Amino acid sequence: MPVSSVETASTTARVGRVPGGGHHTTLTTQHVTPVHGVRPLVVAARAENFHMREIPAAAIAGPGLQAWGVLVPAIAALCYALGRYLPVYGPGSGSRVVPVDLLSQPCSMAAVAAEKSKANKKQKGPKRPKVTVPPDLMARYGAVQLLNDVLLGKKPLEIAFEQRATGLDSRDRGFTFALTAATLRHLGLLDAVVEQCLNKPLSKSKKTQSLRNLLRIGAAQLLILDTPPHAAVDTSVRLAEAMQYEGMKKLVNAILRTIDRQKETLLAKCRDGPDGARVNVPDWLWDDWVRSYHADVAAAIAQAHAREAPLDITVKTDPAKWAEALGGVVLPTGTVRIADASAVTVTQLPGFEEGEWWVQDIAASLPVKLLGDLKGKKVADVCAAPGGKTLQLAAAGATVLAIDQAEKRLQRLRENLKRTGLEGSVAVVCSDAAEYKPPELFDMVLLDAPCSATGTIRRHPELPWTKSIDDVEYCEKLQAKLLAAVVKQVKVGGIIVYCTCSLQSGEGSKQVERALKELPLQRWKIKKEELEGLENVITSAGDVRSLPSHLDGQGGMDGFYIARLQRTK
């Protein structure tokens, strides 16, 4: 920061403390009025505890230039104690660093100027021109940006989309999201196809990430979305140019045209090879599924994830009536399903504004059903937001305490309660459930524990690429902590339903087996007659393990684990 004033050479230069300055000395230089035909640099310094004083400009300009050899070493000596290097501000430029040793020598304006030029060259690289994208390419450019946000920034797709899509019209928003989701859902396949068209693999550096994502969305249009080839290729080549990959236009064109001409051959090599079943699944995820379910079940799960999920709805009453009104079908447990989720806008469907129903996958609706008769029961919904199970509990007649430590997510829960008119029987508490001490013990506790959410990959196709085994292990520790806490929050003889929307056994059956050994709990087995039509989701141990490949002919379901437990003492 320059000092507060530097006057012309015919008057004075100030050296002193600048309000708000740090505990260091800053040497600043500015042009002043020429003296004897020379335009010298006026030198000023500031230090946190340096009192204002005046220095004759003549001491550092014109005939007095030799005084620099006395003045600068004095300033430099002070600065040396505060730091080895001094930030220097020169005319027409920003801050730069000059070694104290240089300033300690008798003044050489040429040396200072040379040092300034050298420092500026190091600091100032060539500025990359701002990307200007034609309007007709904005939707595809948005997809590239979203992929960068998700794959590099590890952002959830829905959050990244809301941040990125604000400037797009409704049609472009829909296409951007569909293109990005399709690319993520088939990411491994698309990468494998593109790799077959390259003489050597693309660099995995961040600099080439946007180019890689551009090729991915081009391939997704050709292989997944059935975009007309000329449109997919032309827009990708033009977008490469707009994104300043001018030298890569021919490469983009060649790869996408090869994919269009040889798509069947390229796809067959990827799908029919030894790794065909796992092509869209990262190794850590695939290996865990094989250990838990065997390879054939893991392959069925992966295949189910390649399809977009339908829209499931939980209704307050009369599922048949609402299935007819919404153009859906009634599933075995009363869930209403609309097959093509992309064809509807949820908020515009009949009954939404009136609060007659809410969106909830059939698997997510099962835990509440397994609590039995809820009328008059005091139930804690732990980790409740965004509130689908809270709404179920309230609609079934329970008095509910909804606990979650995320206030922002609880706001959405409150909005859902208000829309459905169920807020009267629900108290909402923002708290860490592991530390919460209820005024009185509950009859029942529903613990929908935080998890890796790998059971919801159909709805969140970014998850395989943003999660890792470290996330699973972190969640396992948190789940164990919460289970131990809620045992103390329920009455002796009371019921705990533990569930996660994860496919990982460490967050499901293994977690419960550990709890049964360490905590005063016993398993209350789930019987087939409790879930008529879904008997295949009940395990031999008496728990529920739903998979995305279940209900395969009707659109599948999310992966869920559910155990019903009872406190024994």
Residues annotated in the binding site for S-adenosyl-L-methionine, as ranges?
383-389, 404, 432, 448
Distance of alpha carbon 19 from alpha carbon 46, whole angstroms? 10
Report how far residue 223's alpha carbon sits from residue 191's, in angstroms, rounded to the nearest whole number. Answer: 12
- Give me the residue label for tokens 């701002």: 130
Quick one: 419 exposed, middle or buried, by C-beta within 10 A (0-12, 13-18, 19+)?
middle
Query: Please, which residues bridge with residue 497 across strands?
Result: 446, 564
Q: Is the dihedral of CA 294, 154, 176, 214 positive or negative?
A: negative
Per-position DSSP letters for 385-413, written without gaps between them: TT-HHHHHHHHTT-EEEEEES-HHHHHHH
Task: Report whether 163 contacts 192 (CB < 8 A).
Answer: no
Largest Cα separation within the chain, whole Å, is: 104
Annotated active-site residue 475? The verdict is no
Integer Cα distance of 50 and 24 in angstroms: 10
Please state, in angstroms and rounded to a whole number, the distance separating the CA atoms of residues 251 and 297.
39
Q: Which residues contact 152 (CB under 8 A, 6 or more apart)?
A: 206, 209
Residue of 79, 270, 499, 501 marked catalytic: 501
Q: Which residues contact 345 (CB under 8 A, 6 or more apart)?
A: none
Tell me which residues are annotated as active site.
501
